[in-house]
Structures are given as C-alpha cells and as structure tokens.
Amino acid sequence: NAGVTQTPKFQVLKTGQSMTLQCAQDMNHNSMYWYRQDPGMGLRLIYYSASEGTTDKGEVPNGYNVSRLNKREFSLRLESAAPSQTSVYFCASSEAWTGFYEQYFGPGTRLTVT
C-alpha cells in the first residue's frame, strides 16, 4: 500500500500561472481533503470531498478549485497563482467509523509563487 501520494513534491510558479496538484489514495477511503500549511498558522482546510462526485468548501477556498475524479483521486487547481498561495499543500483521506476520523496524509507539495 502506498497510502496517499501527491505530485509534484516541489513547484515554483510565476504569478498568474496555473497548475494542478494531484493526489491519489489506495485505501478505498470515501473522504478526501486538501489543506495548506503556513508557518504559525497550522493546517487550514481548502476543500473537502465526502464521496466521489461531491466537493465542499473549507476555510480558505478562494483562488482554488478541486475535482474528485473518482474514488481514488482528488486534484487541486490554482487557476491564476498569487504569491499568497506560497505554501505547503497536503492531501489527506479518511474513513469514519462511529465518529473516529483518522486522517492519512500525503507527503506534501511545496509550492512557491514568485
């Protein structure tokens, strides 16, 4: 089992460029998440998908779009990158039993926007 995989690991973009961050999980989880992590800010939820075909906004969705391509894959798109989107992006997945939500995280994508 690879768990949660993310590509790319590192990316540098110029302001205004677009890119898609890819995430896949092989644990057959229904729920998938995108977070960003900034120094001193902890983790902030960008978007969430409870199941294939559904997506919902999290705390900081502006400037991002997502696609739940199938049960395995959940991508995050930056249409027009801005320096404020420089961050580390984590994808996570989980399955819930009676309220216990262990999230499994990918290794992260380190994005710099210049």
Partner 1 sequence: GEDVEQSLFLSVREGDSSVINCTYTDSSSTYLYWYKQEPGAGLQLLTYIFSNMDMKQDQRLTVLLNKKDKHLSLRIADTQTGDSAIYFCAESIREDKIIFGKGTRLHILP
**HEC-encoded secondary structure of the chain:** CCCEEEECCEEEECCCCCEEEEEEECCCCCEEEEEEEECCCEEEEEEEECCCCCCEECCCCCCEEEEECCCCEEEEEECCCCHHHCEEEEEEEEEEECCEEEEEECCCEEEEEC
- Kindly tell me which of 47 and 113 has the beta carbon lying closer to partner 1: 47
Name the minimum Å distance from CB 103 to partner 1.
7
Name the minimum Å distance from CB 113 to partner 1.
20
| Contact residues for partner 1, defined by CB under 8 A | 4, 31, 40-43, 45, 48, 50, 56, 58, 90, 92, 94, 96, 98-103, 105-108
- Kindly tell me which of 17 and 103 has the beta carbon lying closer to partner 1: 103
